[in-house]
Each structure stands twice: as structure tokens, then as C-alpha cells.
Structure 1
């Protein structure tokens, strides 16, 4: 601590010859000093207080961020929600009112230009690509090549297909061993297939299209080389609001 001394000026009154005369004298500095402190100590205290306030502010901001993240992490991790946000940004939604048992869900929605059937939305492409590129195109839209589970679904698809085209679906045999697999891991059910007579016909033809037979106009499945270029159908789950 730095200190200083304040010199006090006193007065001494002398009496001489009946008269009075004031004489200013300097008192003994050892007896007339008043200690004082500089502003240095106060500055250190103020700096410490400001530092504490800054740290408290940072802690409060951190706590607020953690609380917000914890409350919203489940929502952010939900794939359905992320898909909904993406579709809202990229497209408009077409919704219909439903009688739903799902709490708070009263609208069934598909992206604009997609077809609605049961619990899914379907996109029928108009450009031709190989099977792999078709699946990648579906993935970019948060969907996958269509997985056909019933005759009703098969009929819905063919009613919306161009009779002059063939459409890739999400069924393939990657090893060429007759082990057919759906892209969404749905088990392949031999009793729920719609192959044309005589199909599948060749081990090198490892991907599947839906197309009409030229002679009968009957729609069915046909195995073909995956590198062939055809249209495709993408499928995604409906969005419920």
C-alpha cells in the first residue's frame, strides 16, 4: 500500500510586552501527519468486481444454451422432423384433413407433385437413370425407391405410370444369387410378388422394373441390368401435422 503524509500548518500565539503577535510555525511532522491511501487499491477492487460480473454473465449464457439444447435435442434428432423442415424449405405441402388417433395430428401431407396412397407419398420421375442413380435421387429427397407390399399398392402404382415406360423399384439382387432385397430392409415375401411369367430370368439382371408386357399390356415385374436407364418411383412416409 502506498501512503503519504499531509502536513498540517498550525499557529502559535506568543505574548510579548503585553502585546500579541501571531507567528506561523511548522509543527513537528511526526505529530501532525494524516495517513491516506492512493486510488490504486480501489482500482484493483473495481477490476476484480468487473471480472466477476463478466464470468457470471458467461456462466448464465452457458447454462441457458445447455438448457435450450437439452429441451430441443430430441426434436432435432427426429428424422421425421428434419425431413419435414427440409420439405417445407424445398417444396410446398399438400395436406388433407384426417380422422386420426394420433394426438394432435389432424393433417396428412405429401410434398407438392407427389401422389398419396395409404401412409406413403410417391414421386414418379420423368427422366431415365440407372438403378443406383435413381436410388441416390430418391435419397436426396429423404425418400427411397418404392417398396411394394400389396396388390393394392401395385395397382395404385401402375394406374399412375406411363404405359410407354418402365419404372425402377427398390428391389435388387446384389450378388446375383437369387437373394432379392428391398432397399428399406423389408423382408422379401415370395407370396407377395408380381413377376411377369418367366421372370426373374437371368442372374446378371439384378435390378427390377415395373413395366407392361407389349403383348398383353399387363403390368408386372421384370429383372433387368442395373445399368439400364429407366424412370423410377420414390417413396416416403406421409407427414402428419
Structure 2
């Protein structure tokens, strides 16, 4: 079981392996209760091995109540598994059914941004649907503060499209045409920059603009596990 975030930004729970918590108790000779707790994790599909957790943490709280000569003990437990999921960088956020994403606020040029994403095992975001466009809006909704961005352009971020090979023919960093990406939403009178603006940027509403690749902007990396 894992807590995940969907494209609208709300949290939900996905299926997965389960924790089994067993509790046994006995009263010792001094009249005190001793409680033994055993935590086991079902792992029929090797999930625990894939996650390579650093540790399993168990947090216990309890309450005792006495009424009519009977004593009731209520025990609550919370188990956590730390560690990356399938090699995904720890600071990437999962959006259910889409993938893992990170908004970098330290501004870079388009090429440097793509290089940074690649170093993290990812690539600049390639939006393939309106649901994936919501990822951009969700990340922006948290009020990111760009660091070192080109003046007056701090509200924009780089995405994974360019027209370096042929003017006006935008393709993704994976080589697929923008026209077949599943999502295209241009700003007014865009694209407009000609040979001087060969990289795609997005605003907080996932609206596209062509821009100089030399601008230093925020950028979103996408990791598909």
C-alpha cells in the first residue's frame, strides 16, 4: 500500500503488499502487562526488493481504560518503509497513472536543463494529455521561487520540445513530433520567434510559447518507471 498523488494534486492510496501486525500480551508477576509486537510485510511480487528500503519504522501508541473490573487496551500502530521506489530519485513526486516529476527552481538554459534531467535518469517533461498538463499547474500552484532566472521570464519553465532540426517542426527530446504528442496548447500568436526561438516553454496554465534556448528558466523533469 502506498500514498500517491494524482494529477489534480489530491492524495489517494494504491494497492500493494501489506503489513501484518500481531500483538501478544501477558501480565507479569508484579501485575504489569508486557506486550510483544511483531511486524511482517507480505511481499508476493518482490516489491520490497525493488524498493530496496533503508528501514521499516514502527510507531506505537496505546491507551488503557478500566470499567466494571475489566481492562481494555487500545493499541495503534503506524508502519513506514523508507527508500526509493524502483530507482526513482527520492525528491521526485508521483502522479498516479502518469509518472514521477520534479520542478527545478534553479534556472538553467534549455540544454543544461535537459542535461540535468538526464543525469537524474529523466528528461524534460513531455506532456501527452490534459491530465499530464495538470501536473504543470499543480507544481506551479505551490508558488515556486525561481533562482537566477532571466529577468521578467521567471514565470516560465522549459518543457521537452524544440525545433533545432527544422524550423517550425517541434519535436520532443525523444524525437516524437509535438503534433502527435496528445497535447498542444499554444499561447496567442504562437509560435512567433522564428529561428531565434527554438525551445518550448510553458506557463503555469500549461500554455506553450517558443523562446530562446539561452534563457535561464525553471524546468520540469519527468521520470517514467
TM-score normalised over the length of structure 1: 0.50
Q: Where in structure 2 are the equivalents of 1:30-109 lying within 5 Å? A: 98=15, 104=45, 106=47, 109=85
Q: Which of 90, 112, 122 is the equivalent residue of 2:90?
A: 112
Q: Where in structure 2 are the equivalents of 1:135-154 lying within 5 Å? A: 135-154=114-133
The structure that has the greater radius of gyration is 1
Q: Which of 117, 126, 140 is the equivalent residue of 2:105?
A: 126
Q: Residue 166 of structure 1: CA displacement?
A: 1.2
Does 2:187 align with 1:196?
yes
Q: Distance in 2 between matches of 1:105 and 1:231?
A: 37
Q: Residue 165 of structure 1: CA displacement?
A: 2.4
Does 2:220 align with 1:233?
yes
| Superimposed CA distance per residue, residues 115-140 of structure 1 (whole angstroms, 9 cap, x where no aligned partner) | 11224111110101100000010111
Between Structure 1 and Structure 2, the one with more helix by share is 1
Q: How many residues align?
A: 136
CA contact (8 A) 1:98 1:106 kept: no
Does 2:173 align with 1:183?
yes
Q: Residue 97 of structure 1: CA displacement?
A: 5.1
SS in 2 for 1:127: strand
The residue aligned with 1:83 is none
Q: Where in structure 2 are the equivalents of 1:149-164 lying within 5 Å? A: 149-161=128-140, 162=143
Q: Residue 235 of structure 1: CA displacement?
A: 0.8
The residue aligned with 1:26 is none
Does 2:163 align with 1:173?
yes
Does 2:222 align with 1:222?
no
Structure 2, unaligned runs of 5 or more:
1-12, 18-43, 52-84, 145-153
TM-score normalised over the length of structure 2: 0.54
SS in 2 for 1:125: strand
